[in-house]
């Protein structure tokens, strides 16, 4: 029996596996990203790159919490110009590269997108959602109008597949996803971290230098999964799931919820680089055991039955 | 999933002792550190200042542990000015640590490198092995743990200073190269300035000797996520800080040459 | 040495301990709530009571997830009229009662508040935030205008201390908290559950009958703590912390973040009723060891140092 | 914090066997259920239908476990119409379970009560105790596990039917009262309709006998959070379902009298 293929196509990008690393996780240098790829990822995602070099926030920038981590790295990055060579190096090694990027203004977003496109990235991921940095655009990801505007402007700079990565820290993620779609996004990545914090009870102060940080890992999985579910119902473009994926069962939940591909970040902390291979293998077994011939058949499957479920949910009134 | 040693906590310093010029040891009681392996490090936090990696320089001495800090900048100067009763925040121990190996090991330490090697020396000594140890420094007053090492190792301790103010005059790496020429070691451990370690690595390779070197890179998360401590395909914080000969060979284009700064740009390794 | 008192005063309500159960957790019947009180709580919070009896959603209504639970009970309750006697029974047993309540319209909120006030509750908690039910008011807790209006209307019906319980599923919780304050709230309870979901990979459908549910437990603690922190900075009225409090260390974090009292829910699942006594004891030891004479001295303490921290956080630009 | 047995999972039915009128056993392989204690229950889910509590009626019979379902409404009818290869969702086992106690125990079961008591009988039998077991039902064709019990207990099994169609004619609780009069039991276990259990409790109290009774209330969360299964200060789902004499005495104003419906209103216990 020949092995079932895990290949997927997301927004025109053909990948041997639906797995990628999450932006900012291990995305600083080509050799590490190559290792992610060699561990089984279908593509790698770079650290979010901005217009100029940033050291990020001073330490502490990471705190372990129950079933997850809080981080406030502060978007350290060497700047788009510097990163051109890193992308080229990755391409030379044969690694499909999704370049994550951000800016402090609409113009900066466009400028960085253009630089990274020219460098040879295979796709771009617009980070509309970092909760740790607020520049001119404020908390970009919570303003549908701004998301549409930034997406549309970037859209004009590049013909690459454009993912827009959203924040879960919003009242209605569907609205923002639709704005990104209108702006010309080819896919939605859902989601970035939840805004949280931790306090040291002896020093009596927040631990993170930035006071608040982004919660990731298994703790956020139910929330991120719900975001994927909602976004998948709201838009016609593919959704890339992200948030707490740790086991192959998690991955299947995301696919069933409507994700066409997945990014895995914090699980590397607990499961190492091996997580990519393990999740691939689990997905493959699941496809086989359930008689599917490819990942595409699984994507969004839980929505069909979801509607029948909804009607039962309304039975809240007295029935005894 | 919930690894206790990775959680933030604070400890009160039970003592602060000066070790040599610019270097002090901070002593504290911490359950998680008692279980450390030689070569592992802690993330040490001073609120409002910084959080930085520090090797565990004594594991469970009557229940107490230590870090040993060389003052080189704001954080390390502040750490060294703390006194008994002050608190520091801790996470860890982190990292792979050294692997005990060899019947006749050679140790080469420079700078604050002895901090990381000391617990390994003590563990090997307890197991019946007395390593040969080359301890280098710029001058006599900067030799770290000279006394503690002499007590354990006796004449297996060889001291070298750049200015000749104590022991042999010259670089520890040079003396180590000479020793490898003369004697049949079966293992080399080294920790110190990277340029020194790069030389020790060359000598060990020349003699076909296995080696373990403890590297330093800019550590932020310490849990292997952010990628800031990368050297080649490895994360110093998690795959390291101890690198063996194969790993060193894989990262040879960066080892002793370049390192990432806090923004992810490569800068030169200066010492 | 005499034991340090854990007494607190919240919005005029004097409690022997800052701990309460979270609304909906164990809040169905007087004898169970009495047991909560006997376990060390300073007051008990009832299940959210509405204008008419509701059975809630059909099972499954609860799913265990990593470090927490997802629930979509669907606000089962016997209706305000019926609940009058339950409140009276609790008062007869000498238990301070916070009556949680909701309605499907502004009028219903007012009506239920009035009924529960007359029944003799010691305080009211307006549940503006249940993510599992959307009636005429839609997702009330995300609309500052509606929150102000409902709070103001209820305010006119009762002289009891009025807590308004907020949802974390909003872009800016500060804005909603300020609206509640303007409407006349005496305290803010922060927060209700995060909206999440879980999918069964064999049945290929959402597990909860309601599809989505509320995430609670340690998983949400960093987020809820951040909400308390933000609300405490935004309003002058006291804040009641809620979300994942499990250990006394968690409780201290909340106090330092600005909570004057705490509600504990999901921890009962993992730690039993004993959690109230354990957390009380831990708080007491902490006060003693840190030389505090009462809880009040701890409340909000982390904010003072927080500002100094903020300034360091801005050092993101290149400094090497 | 992460309790595996509390996670949702699904199992495939390896067999479905009819036990008696309206009652079938569903047989499946599940690691978590293999570790169940007699008297514990599972939450059993059929998507789009319901999730309800069901006692574990056989624990680890060659690795397989069972639940035994009496059809009384939509969910239980649907469960009983499943066949081999169908799937059900499971959480648990939950609840306290029975405590093995007494050298000469009396068991009293009615309705589907034998489902919960059967694994306890088997455990006690393995430990060398052969309980006396009064098994009641409305008529002969509704006697649950009569054969399985007879195999284990021989003449220690006493059958009673309301209509006299097999064994003694009359209520199991009445026969049990008579036995307590005649013989010196040191423990009473009961599971079945609550009004029956209330009578058994009265008899046991009259004879100063310890008792364990397995109660039913409307279970939603099963993890002790929602409070819907409350009887007095106890949660049937977590503090129960097995109540001892002290607990029963504490809840006597509700036991056999009233129960909460799904909205939290008290309604009468009808049987
Ligand atoms: C695994 C490991 C173990 C170490 N063990 C010891 C030890 O036992 N004793 C000791 O004295 N020193 C040790 N160091 C080095 C120590 O962490 C740095 O000297 C310290 O961080 C300098 O901080 P500073 O604010 O005083 O200096 P700065 O003025 O900030 O910088 C001085 C130098 O320290 C480096 N540095 C600053 N922050 C970090 C960081 N977060 N991670 C790594 N390097 C940093 C800078 O790149 C620079 O080269 C270790 C480093 C690593 C990676
Ligand atoms: C701890 C425990 C163990 C049980 N073990 C068994 C067993 O081994 N075999 C067996 O046949 N039955 C058992 N039951 C009873 C069983 O759960 C109910 O018969 C079943 O839920 C009825 O569902 P239905 O949809 O068929 O009936 P419905 O028409 O929904 O209702 C019929 C009766 O079942 C009750 N019921 C419905 N849902 C629940 C619920 N979630 N929790 C409790 N009661 C409910 C109703 O209140 C009503 O009295 C047990 C109950 C409990 C609490
Ligand atoms: C250390 C760290 C750094 C991160 N940096 C970025 C980043 O630069 N850009 C971005 O879009 N997301 C960043 N994230 C968020 C992740 O990409 C991801 O959205 C989030 O961690 C949830 O996924 P996970 O639970 O699998 O980690 C970062 C997360 C972590 C833990
Ligand atoms: C089973 C359950 C039922 C709940 N019912 C209500 C409710 O009726 N009203 C309400 O305001 N919150 C309700 N909540 C939310 C809790 O009050 C609380 O805000 C949330 O669980 C977070 O706290 P915790 O992590 O301590 O449980 C419920 C939570 C659970 C777990
Ligand atoms: S410091 Fe973050 S990966 Fe090593
Ligand atoms: S069913 Fe929820 S507490 Fe028992």
The string of DSSP letters for B35-58 reads: TPPTT-EEEEEETTTEEEEEEEEE
* C311 has a pLDDT exceeding 70: no
Give me the pLDDT at residue B15, please: 97
What's the number of domains chain A is made of? 1
Could you tell me the CATH number of the domain that includes residue B41? Answer: 2.40.30.10
Nearest CA to ligand 1 atom 13: B54
Ligand lying nearest the CA atom of residue A29: 5
* C-alpha to C-alpha distance for A221 and C65, rounded to whole angstroms: 9
Q: Quote the ligand 6 centre to D228 CA distance (angstroms).
A: 5
The size of the B-C interface in CB pairs under 8 A is 13
Section C60-65 average pLDDT: 98
* C248 has a pLDDT exceeding 70: yes
* B50 has a pLDDT exceeding 50: yes
Report if residue C1 sits inside a domain: no
Rounded to the nearest integer, the mean pLDDT of chain C is 93
How far C111 CA sits from the closest chain B CA (Å)?
47
Q: How far is CA D232 from CA A14, A33, D236, in A?
A: 61, 60, 10
Query: Which of A119-128, A269-278, C132-141 shows the lowest mean pLDDT across its residues?
Result: C132-141
Is residue B48 less than 8 Å (CB to CB) from chain C?
yes
Nearest to A200 by CA among C3, B156, B9, C188: B9
B109's tokens: 């330490």
Contact A68 C219 (CB under 8 A): yes
Contact C309 B48 (CB under 8 A): yes
Do residues A250 and A221 make contact, with C-beta atoms less than 8 angstroms apart?
A: yes
How far C12 CA sits from the closest chain A CA (Å)?
27
Give me the pLDDT at residue C2, please: 65
Same domain flag for D90 and D110: no
Nearest to C196 by CA among A308, A194, A316: A194
DSSP letter for each residue of D54-97: EEEEEEEETTEEEEEEE--SHHHHHHHT--TT-EEEEEEEES--
Section C228-234 average pLDDT: 98
Measured between beta carbons, the chain A residues lying within 8 angstroms of C229 are: 197, 206, 211-212
Report if residue C2 sits inside a domain: no
Contact A205 C306 (CB under 8 A): yes
Could you tell me the CATH number of the domain that includes residue C121? Answer: 3.20.20.70
Section C119-126 average pLDDT: 98
* A267 has a pLDDT exceeding 50: yes
Give me the pLDDT at residue C316, please: 64
ipTM for the predicted complex comes to 0.96
> Could you say which of B94, B125, B154 is where a domain stops?
B94
From the alpha carbon of B56, which atom of ligand 1 is closest?
8
A21's tokens: 């690393």
Same domain flag for B75 and B111: no
| Beta carbon of B160 within 6 Å of any ligand 1 atom | no
Ligand lying nearest the CA atom of residue B234: 5
Tell how far CA A190 is from the center of its chain.
6
Do residues B200 and A41 make contact, with C-beta atoms less than 8 angstroms apart?
A: no
For B228, nearest residue in chain A (alpha carbons): A28
Non-local CB neighbours of A314 within 8 Å, separated by 6+ positions: none
* C-alpha to C-alpha distance for C260 and A303, rounded to whole angstroms: 43
Section A286-300 average pLDDT: 97
* C-alpha to C-alpha distance for C154 and A3, rounded to whole angstroms: 64
Report if residue D37 sits inside a domain: yes
Nearest to A54 by CA among A103, A124, A118: A103
User: pLDDT band at C310, cuts 50/70/90?
Assistant: low
* C112 has a pLDDT exceeding 70: yes
**Phi–psi pair at C248, nearest 5 degrees:** -65, -30
Give me the pLDDT at residue A304, please: 87
From the alpha carbon of D95, which atom of ligand 2 is closest?
1
Give me the pLDDT at residue B121, please: 97
Which residues on neighbouring strands pair with residue B193, listed in sequence order?
A: none
Same domain flag for B116 and B241: yes
State the best of B10, B45, B48 to mutate against chain C, taking most chain C CBs within 10 Å: B48
Section B228-257 average pLDDT: 97
Is residue D3 less than 8 Å (CB to CB) from chain A?
no
Q: How far is CA C128 from CA C27, C48, C124, C164, D232, in A?
A: 18, 10, 12, 7, 30
Nearest to C7 by CA among C17, B108, B69: C17
Rounded to the nearest integer, the mean pLDDT of chain B is 96
Give me the pLDDT at residue C133, please: 52
Pairing of strands A162-166, A187-190: parallel
DSSP single-letter state for residue A138: B
C99: containing domain:
8-319
* A310 has a pLDDT exceeding 70: no
How far C87 CA sits from the closest chain D CA (Å)?
14
Ligand lying nearest the CA atom of residue A268: 3
Rounded to the nearest integer, the mean pLDDT of chain A is 93
Same domain flag for D131 and D257: yes
* C-alpha to C-alpha distance for C278 and C124, rounded to whole angstroms: 26
Non-local CB neighbours of C92 within 8 Å, separated by 6+ positions: none
Give me the pLDDT at residue C119, please: 97
For D46, nearest residue in chain A (alpha carbons): A309
Q: Quote the ligand 6 centre to C202 CA distance (angstroms).
A: 26
Give me the pLDDT at residue A308, please: 56
| Beta carbon of B72 within 6 Å of any ligand 1 atom | yes
Give me the pLDDT at residue C3, please: 83
Report if residue D2 sits inside a domain: no
> Could you say which of D40, D65, D94 is where a domain stops?
D94
> How many residues does the structure list for chain D?
271
Pairing of strands B41-46, D132-137: unpaired
* A305 has a pLDDT exceeding 80: no
Is residue B262 less than 8 Å (CB to CB) from chain C?
yes
Give me the pLDDT at residue C99, please: 98
User: How many alpha carbons lie under 13 Å from residue C284 in its C-beta half-sphere?
Assistant: 17
Same domain flag for B70 and B196: no
Give me the pLDDT at residue A317, please: 56
* C-alpha to C-alpha distance for A197 and C253, rounded to whole angstroms: 10
Contact D265 C67 (CB under 8 A): no
D84: containing domain:
9-94
Q: Quote the ligand 4 centre to C215 CA distance (angstroms).
A: 9
Closest partner CB to C318 (pick from B47, B48, B263): B263
Measured between beta carbons, the chain D residues lying within 8 angstroms of C63 are: 8
How far B47 CA sits from the closest chain A CA (Å)?
7
Report if residue C3 sits inside a domain: no
User: pLDDT band at B60, cuts 50/70/90?
Assistant: confident
User: pLDDT band at C141, cuts 50/70/90?
Assistant: confident
Give me the pLDDT at residue C274, please: 98
Section C176-192 average pLDDT: 98
Is residue A204 less than 8 Å (CB to CB) from chain C?
yes
Residues at CB less than 6 angstroms from ligand 6: D 219-222, 224-229, 235, 237-238
Same domain flag for D137 and D222: yes
> Could you say which of D50, D65, D94 is where a domain stops?
D94
Chains that touch D (3 or more CB pairs under 8 A): A, C
Section C28-45 average pLDDT: 97
Give me the pLDDT at residue D124, please: 96
Contact B51 A60 (CB under 8 A): yes
Section A167-184 average pLDDT: 97
Active-site residue list of A? 130
Give me the pLDDT at residue B74, please: 97
pLDDT above 70 coverage of chain C, percent: 92
Could you tell me the CATH number of the domain that includes residue B192? Answer: 3.40.50.80
Give me the pLDDT at residue A129, please: 80
* C-alpha to C-alpha distance for B100 and B121, rounded to whole angstroms: 10
Same domain flag for B25 and B150: no
**Phi–psi pair at A39, nearest 5 degrees:** -80, -5
Closest partner CB to A205 (pick from C55, C76, C305): C305
Tell how far CA C162 is from the center of its chain.
13
pLDDT above 70 coverage of chain A, percent: 92
Give me the pLDDT at residue C312, please: 64
Q: How far is CA C203 from CA A227, A303, C248, D46, in A?
A: 20, 12, 40, 9
* C-alpha to C-alpha distance for B120 and B55, rounded to whole angstroms: 12
Q: Quote the ligand 4 centre to C62 CA distance (angstroms).
A: 12
Q: Quote the ligand 2 centre to D192 CA distance (angstroms).
A: 12
* C317 has a pLDDT exceeding 80: no
Contact C319 B48 (CB under 8 A): no
Is residue B252 less than 8 Å (CB to CB) from chain A?
no
pLDDT above 90 coverage of chain D, percent: 96
Contact C211 A313 (CB under 8 A): yes
Same domain flag for D191 and D115: yes
- Say if pTM beats, i.e. exceeds, 0.95: yes
Do residues C50 and C103 make contact, with C-beta atoms less than 8 angstroms apart?
A: yes
Report if residue A280 sits inside a domain: yes
Ligand lying nearest the CA atom of residue D270: 2
* C-alpha to C-alpha distance for B217 and A63, rounded to whole angstroms: 20
Report if residue A181 sits inside a domain: yes
Same domain flag for B30 and B116: no
Section A227-248 average pLDDT: 98
Contact A74 C206 (CB under 8 A): no
pLDDT above 90 coverage of chain B, percent: 96
- Three-state DSSP at D258 gives strand
Q: How many other C-beta atoms can be found within 10 angstroms of the C-beta atom of residue C274?
A: 12
* A7 has a pLDDT exceeding 90: yes
Q: pLDDT tens, C142-172?
A: 899 999 999 999 999 999 999 999 999 999 9
Give me the pLDDT at residue A264, please: 98
Same domain flag for D34 and D111: no
* C315 has a pLDDT exceeding 70: no
Spans in chain D with pLDDT lower than 70: 1-3
Do residues D74 and D50 make contact, with C-beta atoms less than 8 angstroms apart?
A: yes
Residues at CB less than 6 angstroms from ligand 5: B 219-222, 224-229, 235, 237-238
Report if residue A1 sits inside a domain: no
Q: pLDDT tens, C269-292?
A: 999 999 999 999 999 999 999 999
DSSP letter for each residue of chain C: -PPPP--EEETTEEESSSEEEPTTSS-SSHHHHHHHHHTT-SBEEPPPB-SS-B--SPSP-EEEETTEEEE-----B--HHHHHHHHHHHHHTT--EEEEE--SSHHHHHHHHHHHHHHT-SEEEEE---TT--BTTBSGGG-HHHHHHHHHHHHHH--S-EEEEEPS-SS-HHHHHHHHHHHT-SEEEE--PEEEE-EETTTTEESSTTSEEEEESGGGHHHHHHHHHHHHHH-SS-EEEESS--SHHHHHHHHHHTEEEEEE-THHHHH-THHHHHHHHHHHHHHHHTT-SSGGGTTTHHHHHHHHHHHHHT--B---
Chains that touch A (3 or more CB pairs under 8 A): B, C, D
User: pLDDT band at C137, cuts 50/70/90?
Assistant: low
DSSP letter for each residue of D140-201: GGG-TTHHHHHHHHGGGEEEEETT-SSSEES-HHHHHHHHHHHS--SEEEEES-HHHHHHHH
* A65 has a pLDDT exceeding 50: yes
For A64, nearest residue in chain C (alpha carbons): C222
What's the number of domains chain D is made of? 2
* C-alpha to C-alpha distance for D47 and D30, rounded to whole angstroms: 19
Contact D48 A305 (CB under 8 A): yes
How far A249 CA sits from the closest chain D CA (Å)?
11
Q: How many other C-beta atoms can be found within 10 angstroms of the C-beta atom of residue D104?
A: 13
Contact B263 C308 (CB under 8 A): no
Is residue C218 less than 8 Å (CB to CB) from chain A?
yes
How far A87 CA sits from the closest chain B CA (Å)?
14
Non-local CB neighbours of A63 within 8 Å, separated by 6+ positions: A69, A70, A71, A198, A207, A208, A213, B8
Sign of CA dihedral C248, C254, C256, C260: negative
Report if residue D1 sits inside a domain: no
Do residues A78 and A55 make contact, with C-beta atoms less than 8 angstroms apart?
A: no
Give me the pLDDT at residue A307, please: 53
Same domain flag for B154 and B75: no
Q: pLDDT tens, B137-150?
A: 999 999 999 999 99
Same domain flag for D60 and D111: no
Residues at CB less than 6 angstroms from ligand 2: C 59; D 41, 50, 52-55, 57, 67-70, 72-76, 112, 115-116, 216-219, 241
From the alpha carbon of A59, which atom of ligand 1 is closest?
41
Query: Which of A274-278, C255-259, C304-308 shows the lowest mean pLDDT across its residues?
Result: C304-308
Q: Quote the ligand 1 centre to B143 CA distance (angstroms).
A: 19
State the best of A49, A58, A62 to mutate against chain B, taking most chain B CBs within 10 Å: A62
Return the H-helix or E-strand segment holding B197. Answer: helix B194-206
Q: How many other C-beta atoms can be found within 10 angstroms of the C-beta atom of residue A318?
A: 16
């Amino acid at each position: 029996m020949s092995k079932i293929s895990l290949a997927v196509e997301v927004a025109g990008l053909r990948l041997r596996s639906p797995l990628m690393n999450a932006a900012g996780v291990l995305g600083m240098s080509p050799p590490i990203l190559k290792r992610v790829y060699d561990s089984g990822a279908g593509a790698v995602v770079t650290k979010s790159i901005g217009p100029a070099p940033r050291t990020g926030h001073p330490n502490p920038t990471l705190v372990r919490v129950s079933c997850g981590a809080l981080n406030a790295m502060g978007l350290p990055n060497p700047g788009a110009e510097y990163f051109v060579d890193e992308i080229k190096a990755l391409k030379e090694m044969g690694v499909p590269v999704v370049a994550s990027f951000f800016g402090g203004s609409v113009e900066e977003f466009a400028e960085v997108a253009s630089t990274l496109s020219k460098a040879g990235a295979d796709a771009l991921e617009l980070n509309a959602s970092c909760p740790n940095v607020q520049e001119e655009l404020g908390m970009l990801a919570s303003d549908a109008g701004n998301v549409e505007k930034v997406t549309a402007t970037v859209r004009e700079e590049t013909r690459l597949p454009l993912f827009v990565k959203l924040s879960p820290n919003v009242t209605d993620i569907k609205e923002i996803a639709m704005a990104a779609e209108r702006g010309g996004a080819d896919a939605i990545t859902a989601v970035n971290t939840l805004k949280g914090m931790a306090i040291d009870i002896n020093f009596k102060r927040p631990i993170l230098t930035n006071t608040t940080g982004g919660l990731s890992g298994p703790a956020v999985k139910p929330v991120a999964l719900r975001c994927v579910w909602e976004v998948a119902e709201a838009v016609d473009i593919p959704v890339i799931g992200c948030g707490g994926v740790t086991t192959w069962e998690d991955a299947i939940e995301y696919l069933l919820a409507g994700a066409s591909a997945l990014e895995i970040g914090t699980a590397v902390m607990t499961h190492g680089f091996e997580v990519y291979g393990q999740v691939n293998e689990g997905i493959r077994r699941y496809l086989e055991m359930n008689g599917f011939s490819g990942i595409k058949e699984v994507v969004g499957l839980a929505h069909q039955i979801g509607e029948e479920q909804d009607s039962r949910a309304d039975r809240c009134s007295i029935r005894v | 999933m919930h690894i206790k040693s990775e959680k933030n906590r604070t400890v009160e310093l039970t003592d602060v002792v000066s070790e040599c010029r610019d270097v002090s040891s901070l002593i504290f009681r911490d359950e998680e550190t008692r279980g450390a392996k030689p070569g592992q490090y802690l993330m040490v936090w001073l609120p409002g200042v910084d959080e930085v990696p520090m090797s565990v320089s004594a594991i469970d001495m009557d229940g107490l542990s230590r870090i040993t800090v060389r003052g080189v900048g704001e954080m390390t100067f502040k750490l060294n000015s703390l006194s008994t009763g002050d608190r520091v925040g801790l996470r860890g121990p982190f990292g792979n640590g050294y692997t005990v190996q060899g019947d006749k090991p050679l140790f080469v330490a420079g700078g604050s490198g002895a901090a990381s090697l000391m617990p390994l020396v003590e563990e090997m000594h307890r197991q019946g092995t007395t390593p040969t140890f080359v301890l280098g420094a710029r001058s006599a007053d900067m030799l770290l743990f000279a006394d503690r090492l002499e007590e354990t190792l006796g004449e297996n301790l060889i001291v070298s200073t750049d200015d000749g103010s104590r022991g042999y005059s010259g670089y520890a790496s040079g003396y180590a190269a000479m020793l490898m020429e003369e004697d049949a070691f079966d293992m080399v451990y080294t920790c110190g300035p990277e340029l020194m370690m790069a030389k020790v690595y060359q000598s060990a390779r020349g003699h076909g000797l296995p080696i373990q070197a403890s590297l330093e890179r800019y550590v932020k998360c310490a849990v292997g996520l952010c990628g800031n401590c990368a050297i080649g395909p490895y994360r110093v914080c998690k795959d390291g800080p101890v690198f063996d000969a194969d790993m060193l060979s894989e990262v040879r284009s960066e080892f002793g040459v370049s390192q990432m700064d806090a923004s992810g740009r490569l800068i030169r390794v200066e010492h």
